[in-house]
Amino acid sequence: MTQVCRGRTLIGTPNDWNAVPAAVRSGPPTAVPLLHGPHFFGDLRDRLPDISPNALTERLGTLRERGPVKRRRLPGFPVGTRYTLTATGQALRPLLVKLYRTGPVLAEARHAP
């Protein structure tokens, strides 16, 4: 059920409203490479060198639990694990792109005299 709050801002039920921001907060920068397509865990680890493998595993797990990311285990040796955005993740894509692009602008403004 959707409620209107403060003008035209739409918010969902408390569970929906809490899930989306939490998914976004735990996403960037983890989800950013997934905006460009599926990636294996090793590729994500290489693209996100400031995140430890354990932290990356935890963040991807959180994103999977909340819905924007799915994991697919591929057969073979060694087993491959590929991560992609779900339909929910694709719906969040414009927001994630905007957040990613806004970060440097906000950081620059914070350090400006």
Return the bridge partners of 80, or none. Answer: 74
Where do runs of H (alpha helix) occur along 1-113? 14-25, 41-47, 53-66, 87-111
CA distance 37 to 29: 15
CA distance 21 to 105: 21
Q: Which amino acid is at 15?
A: N
Tokens 């290489």 map to which residue?
A: 46
How confident is the model over 62-109, as pLDDT tens digits? 889 988 899 999 988 888 999 999 998 898 888 878 877 787 777 777
CA distance 14 to 94: 22
How confident is the model over 3-53, as pLDDT tens digits? 434 443 344 443 443 444 444 444 446 777 888 889 999 999 888 888 889
Q: Distance between alpha carbon 49 and the CA centroid of its chain, in Å?
A: 16
pTM confidence score: 0.64
